Structure formats: C-alpha cells, structure tokens
Amino acid sequence: MLDKQSPIPIYIQIEEQLKQQIQQGDFPIGAAIPSERELTERFDVSRMTVRQSITNLVNDGLLYREKGRGTFVASPKVEQPLNGLTSFTEDMQSRGMVPSSKLIGFEILEPDSDIAEELQLADGDKVYFVERIRFADDKPMAIERTYLPVGRFPNLNRDSFQGSLYAMIENEQQLKISRATQRMEAGLVKKEDADLLQIKPPAAILMIERISYLADGQPFEVVRSTYRADRYKFTTDIKR
Amino acid sequence: MLDKQSPIPIYIQIEEQLKQQIQQGDFPIGAAIPSERELTERFDVSRMTVRQSITNLVNDGLLYREKGRGTFVASPKVEQPLNGLTSFTEDMQSRGMVPSSKLIGFEILEPDSDIAEELQLADGDKVYFVERIRFADDKPMAIERTYLPVGRFPNLNRDSFQGSLYAMIENEQQLKISRATQRMEAGLVKKEDADLLQIKPPAAILMIERISYLADGQPFEVVRSTYRADRYKFTTDIKR
DNA sequence: CAGTGGTCTAGACCACTAC
DNA sequence: TAGTGGTCTAGACCACTGT
C-alpha cells in the first residue's frame, strides 16, 4: 500500500490514497473515514503522520473534522474554481479556451507614484511597462498592462514576454512566487480600450489590479487588466 | 513567558508572542527568527509544538521558511485585505463605514432552477427570498437578494434578517459555516436597480453571486448582490 | 463508558545550505 | 562540518461526543 523507501513523503502518499478512495466512492459523502488511530494501524505509521495527511485534506476542503465524533467526507464543490495564483494562460486553459496574446507596447520608464509605491521602489527606480491584448479562442478578452521592477529583473526584453513570465521567474531566476493581492472593480469602457477590445460604448468592463509577491514578501509585479464584462466572470473560493 | 496551565494551547501562545515580537520590530523584515531548536529550548517545549506555531504564521504570510537556511520575517502586506467569509456588515465596518439596511422584500417561494441547483434542492423544496438595500454611511451601496432553503431553517421571519444571519446560524442553529464560492462580473445597471441605488444609467455595477457552504459541504445560502461600481472595490488575497 | 480529534513530548534521521 | 527545516516515531493526557 505504501512505499516507505520512496522519496515521496509518507504523509503525501497517504493523502493520495485517501483522495483516491474518496473519489472512488469508498467513503460516501458525509460518511466518516476511518479514525486516525485506525489509519495509524492500517498504514503502520505514527499518528502524527496520519494527522498531517488529514490536515492537508481538511485544508483542501475534501474532509472536515468534528471533535469527539470523527472525520467526514465533505460534499464536492458545485463548481471547481481555479484557486491560487494563475496566469492568464492558465486561467483560460482551465476554462477550456485557447489563449493567445499580442504585444502592443514595451518600454522602460519611470513609474508614476501609484506603481512606485505598490512595488516599494526607491526614487528613480525604473520599471518595464508591457501592454498586451489577451485573446481567448482568437477573440479579444482583455487588455493587460504589466509593471515589473527593472532592478529585480535586469535583462528582460520583448521576447521575455512571449512565454510564461511566472515560469521564467520561478525556474530561471529561482525565486518563489507566493501570493498576490487583487483589487477588482467595475467600470465603463474608455474609447481607446473599446477599440482594442472590439466593443461599443457604453459597455461594462471588469478592472483587475494584481500586486504579486515573492515568498520574502517583496512585490515583483503589478498587473492592471481590463476584461470584457460580457465574456469574463471571476470566481473565487473564500474560507471563513 | 508561557502559561502552561492555561487552557489556551501552548502553540497559540507561542504564535501570539512571535507575532508581537515581529510587530515590535524585534525581528526586522527579512531577518531570521530564532531556529526551531532554539525556540524549543527558550520556551521549554517540544519541537513539534514550535513547528505548529510557525506553520500557522507561515500560512498567515507573516513568516516564510527556507530549507537549510532558516525562517524569516516576510514584509507586511501593503494593504490588509479582509480575507475570509464576511457579511456586508463586517465588510463595511472594516472599511470604516457605518452599515445599515432596508428590507424591501420577504417571501417564501419556489426557486427557479438556477437557485435550486445551487442549493442542491429537491423538486418542490421552497426557499426564503429576502431583498434588501444595503447602505454605507446612509448612502445606498448595494442591493442584496438572498435565497435560503426553508428545509434547513424552518422558523425564519422578517425579523430574522435584522441582525447578523451568520451569527444566528452559528450560535442558535449550531452549524459551522466553512466556505463560499463567489462569482463576480461587471455589468450595466438596470432601470429598476438604478432607482434603488440612486444612480443614473448608463452606469457600471459589480454583480456578485455567493454560494455559502457549511462544514459538511452542504450549501445553505445563495446571495446575489449588485454593488455601485463607483463606491465599491473588491479586494482578495490569493495564494500560489 | 469507549472512541474521537486536539494537543504535546523527547527523541530520531534526512536533505539542504553556508562556511 | 555544523546548523537548518522536513519528516517521522511511539507514546501520552485532555475535552468532547454518543451510547
């Protein structure tokens, strides 16, 4: 059942097994899974190891615990929203659409005070400014304006923005992206943006500003996006 | 330093102490906090206990760990968004505004198929329908339309919607609210809603649909809100 | 009452980092 | 090599639930 010699930690192996058993219906929705002590015996591991597996599944929303009663299978979510920090590319793919992109602006400039503050820049620090139209199934979906500190990424050029920026940062630069703050608001489309998005005013748009942070808490990116309201809905999961 | 006789778990006491020391600046941003083994000695507890404290602070984004190096203080977030599942009342208060509310509709009806599906209802199950105008500092902020299954809450009336619905559910009904799925989109205001919100078309609005779930995964509430785009921005934190 | 999850101990070995 | 976080053990006592 478990491979204790495997480089994969035991608690992750147990997680996978439980996940699979839940999906197979071995444990129906609302039913109790075996108690921690029972799993301890079944897998011949310590209770803390079993607890680590279960804690992760509880955090993922697959299980819930009740003091003195047991651990139970939660009902699956109606809709599986794309949680976590994702790129436009990942986002569209998860919606079953084919993403593409057109670079319409690239320059190095001194940011205005909003951006400078959000990126925690010093006076005189410059940023890359990248402007792209984002397409889904070849139809315009959004305009994306990205600001990146030159200081942190000294050698970027137009080509850097063809592939996945996040992958480049995490693999080539060996930095860890950890989280983002997102601000969302509705508005009426401006004339210039209406042309780029191929819509006619008056029309509603969804404006999203994202500030992304590395694991050390430093911001590394500000993205301001303008989405066509008729084509884009944003879904999140919230925990109490 | 620690009160081991206290009913408050030791790992929470350690969490509080570390949090305080970070806020006091005892550990500057980016600096390492004492190692797990050092804290083990300092607090005279086991290492697993210290790890539980640190793990929680890492999940909160106050600290981050690096294998083989240590645990470090993350920079504080620029903006502290209100995370978690909150009511309109809590939301407005955290923005420093005074919330109020006007009930404009209350009835028991058979839901349309959208709502029935989202609440996982059987044929013929009925729902409460509650329509309220939500004010912030006495200015209209949003229209909120709430659907609750009668089956789960048999004895509600108009008065039930004066106070905090969430508090009532968690205290009186002894149910645990665990999470919600939120769908957000932009749109143009309809004539009827424009009057209620005291705005003139064409104007943008932010439409939010929230489906809230109990710990057992059962949905218990659908809320459809229409916010004035000129007054409301929505902020979230996202983790990678 | 027996069983459950919540907390906690006092060790251990590993892979990784920095010197 | 010494120190770090990551994983794991084999126990323990507690408060809480259901019978």
pLDDT score at A147: 96
Average pLDDT over residues A6-31: 93
Residue A2's pLDDT is what? Answer: 86
Which of A's residues 51-110 have CB atoms within 7 A of nucleic strand D?
Answer: 52, 66-69
Model pLDDT, residue A68: 92
pLDDT exceeds cutoff 60 at A28: yes
Which position has the token pair 């929505």? B234
- Looking at chain B from residue 203 to 222, which residues have their Cβ under 8 Å from any Cβ of chain A? 203-206, 210-211, 213, 215-219
Residue reference for tokens 């599986």: A80
pLDDT at B65: 92
What pLDDT does A81 receive?
52
Q: Which residues of B touch A202 (CB under 8 A)?
A: 188, 202
- Contacts of residue A213 in chain B, CB cutoff 8 Å? 77
**Which protein residue's Cα is closest to nucleotide D15 at C1'?**
A68
Question: CA of B238 to nearest chain A CA: how many angstroms apart?
Answer: 5
User: Which residues 21-80 of A are in CB contact (within 8 Å) with B?
Assistant: 29-30, 48, 61, 64, 66, 72, 74-79
What's B31's DSSP letter?
P
* Cβ neighbours of residue B113 closer than 8 Å, sequence gap 6 or more: none
| Confidence band, pLDDT 50/70/90 cuts, at residue A154 | confident
Residue type, B89: T
pLDDT in tens, A199-220: 999 999 999 999 998 888 889 9
pLDDT of amino acid A93: 87
More confident residue, A171 or A199: A199
Query: What was the pLDDT predicted at B88?
Result: 87
Chain D bases closer than 7 angstroms to a protein Cβ: 3-12, 15-18
Q: Which of A136-145, A176-185, B75-84 has the lowest mean pLDDT?
A: B75-84
pLDDT of residue B77: 62
Give the confidence band of A75 by pLDDT, cuts at 50, 70, 90: confident
Contact at 8 Å (CB) between A227 and A139? no
Nearest to residue B40, comparing CAs of B95, B88, B2? B2
The residue with greater pLDDT, A215 or A22, is: A22
The string of DSSP codes covering B157-183 is -GGGGTS-HHHIIIIIS---EEEEEEE
Count residue pairs from A and B with Cβ separation < 8 A: 174
Mean pLDDT of A29-51: 94
For chain B, report the end-to-end CA distance as a whole number of angstroms: 35
Give A141 to chain B, closest Cα distance, Å: 14
Ordered per-residue pLDDT tens for chain B, 240 residues? 789 889 999 999 999 999 999 989 999 989 999 999 999 999 999 999 999 999 999 988 889 999 899 999 987 765 445 556 678 888 898 889 999 999 999 999 999 999 999 999 999 999 999 999 999 999 999 999 999 999 888 888 888 887 667 777 776 676 777 888 889 999 999 999 999 999 999 999 999 999 998 888 889 999 999 999 999 999 887 776
- A159: distance to nearest CA of chain B, Å? 25
pLDDT reported for residue B83: 58
Whether the model pTM is above 0.95? no
- pLDDT recorded at residue A137: 97
pLDDT at site B81? 53
Q: DSSP string of chain A?
A: ---TTSSS-HHHHHHHHHHHHHHHTSS-TTPBPPPHHHHHHHHT--HHHHHHHHHHHHHTTSEEEETTTEEEEPPPPSS----S---HHHHHHHTT--EEEEEEEEEEEPPPHHHHHHTTPPTT--EEEEEEEEEETTEEEEEEEEEEETTTSTT--GGGGTS-HHHHHHHTS---EEEEEEEEEEEEPPHHHHHHHT--SS-EEEEEEEEEEETTS-EEEEEEEEEETTT--EEEEEE-
Partner B, chain A 121-160, Cβ-Cβ below 8 Å = none
Would you say residue A17 has pLDDT above 90? yes
d(CA A164, CA B79): 27
Identify the DSSP state of B74. P
Of chain A, the percentage scoring pLDDT greater than 90 comes to: 65
pLDDT number for residue A232: 94
pLDDT category of residue A38 using cuts at 50, 70 and 90: very high
Between B107 and A75, name the one with better pLDDT.
B107
* Mean of pLDDT over chain A: 89
B109 CB inside 7 Å of strand D = no
